[in-house]
A and B are shown apart, each in its own frame.
Chain A
Amino acid sequence: EAGVVQSPRYKIIEKKQPVAFWCNPISGHNTLYWYRQNLGQGPELLIRYENEEAVDDSQLPKDRFSAERLKGVDSTLKIQPAELGDSAVYLCASSPGTSGYNEQFFGPGTRLTVL
C-alpha cells in the first residue's frame, strides 16, 4: 500500500513569492492534516480536514495561508506571499477516520526555504 505522497520534496523561493504544496493521502483515509515543523521543534497542526471539510483551521495563518481538499482526496496548501519565517518542513498526514483514536501516517514532508 502506498504511503502519503507529498510534492515537491524541496522548494526554495524568495520572500513575497507564492508557493504551493501538494499531498495525496493514503487511499481510503478520510482525515487529512497539514503540519508545520520548524527547526528543532515538533510538528504543529495547521489544519485538519474531515473529507473535504476543514474542521479545524484555528492555527492556520489565514492572512497568507490557504488550503483546499477538493473531492475529499488530494490537498494543497498555499502560502502567498511567503515570508522568511515560513521556512520550515510542511508535513501532511492522514488517518482512517475520527471514531476513537487513529494513528496518523505522515508523508516525507516538503522542506521550504524562503530567502
Chain B
Amino acid sequence: DQQVKQNSPSLSVQEGRISILNCDYTNSMFDYFLWYKKYPAEGPTFLISISSIKDKNEDGRFTVFLNKSAKHLSLHIVPSQPGDSAVYFCAASGLTGANNLFFGTGTRLTVIP
C-alpha cells in the first residue's frame, strides 16, 4: 500500500514560471517530509524538508508547503529554470520509523526554455 503518493507522473512548465509539485500521504504518524531531486544515472539528492510543526519552509527558489489536515504537501519552484528538469520525489518519515523514508513514485519536471 503506497503511503506517499505523487499523482502527477509528469509536469511541463515554461522557464521563468512557477512549478508546483504535489504530494499526498496517508499515514498520520509521518511528521517529517522531504523532497529529493534525481537526475538520470544519479542517486536522489536532498532538496528541502519540512517538519510537521511548520506549514512552510523556504530555501531560495524552493518552498515547501505542508497542510497536515489534508495530509498534503507541495513544492513550489519559482522561477523555474531548465536545470530544474529532473524527477522529484516526495518522502516522509515518522518517529516510529527511526528515520526510515517512504518515497512517492516521483514527478518528472520538464522546464521548457
Question: Looking at the complex, which one of A42, A105, A106 makes contact with B105 (CB distance below 8 Å)?
Answer: A42
Q: A42-B4, A42-B89, A42-B105 are in contact. Are A95 and B99 (CB under 8 A)?
A: yes
A-contact bits for B17-50, CB 8 A (1 contact / 0 none): 0000000000000001010100001111110010
Can you name the residue of chain B whose Cβ is closest to the Cβ of A50?
Answer: B98
How many residue pairs at the A-B interface have CB separations less than 8 Å?
56
Which of B46, B104, B105, B106 makes the CB contact (< 8 A) with A104?
Answer: B46
Asked whether A98 lies within 8 Å of B99 as measured between CB atoms, the reply is yes
Are B105 and A40 touching (Cβ within 8 A)?
A: yes
Cα distance, A95 to B93, chains bound together (Å)? 14
User: Are the CB atoms of A31 and B104 closer together than 8 Å?
Assistant: no
Query: Closest residue to B31 on the A side, CB-wise?
Result: A101
Is A82's CB within 8 Å of the partner chain B?
A: no
A91 with B4: CB separation less than 8 A: no
Interface majority SS (helix, strand, loop, mixed), chain A: loop
Residues of A in contact (CB 8 Å), total: 25
Residue B100 lies at the interface, judged by CB distance under 8 Å to chain A: yes
Tell me if A25 is interfacial: C-beta within 8 Å of chain B: no
Query: Of the candidates A31, A42, A55, A106, which one forms a contact with B43 in the assembled complex, judged by CB atoms under 8 Å apart?
Result: A106
B93: which of A55, A56, A101 is its contact (CB, 8 Å)? A101
Specify which chain A residues have a CB less than 8 angstroms from the CB of B32 in the assembled complex. 101
The CA of A102 and the CA of B104, in the complex, are separated in Å by 19
Asked if B13 is at the interface of the complex by the 8 Å CB criterion, the answer is no
Closest to A58 in B: B100
Query: Are the C-beta atoms of B100 and A48 separated by less than 8 Å?
Result: yes
- Please tell me if A103 contacts chain B, counting CB pairs below 8 Å: yes
Give the shortest distance, in Å, between B50 (CB) and chain A (any CB): 11
8 chain-A/chain-B pairs, Cβ below 8 angstroms: A4-B43, A40-B105, A40-B106, A42-B105, A43-B103, A48-B100, A91-B44, A103-B49
Please report B residues at the A interface, Cβ cutoff 8 Å: 4, 9, 32, 34, 36, 41-46, 49, 51, 89, 91, 93, 98-101, 103-106
A residues within 8 Å of B by Cβ? 4, 9, 31, 40-45, 48, 55-56, 91, 93, 95, 98, 101-109
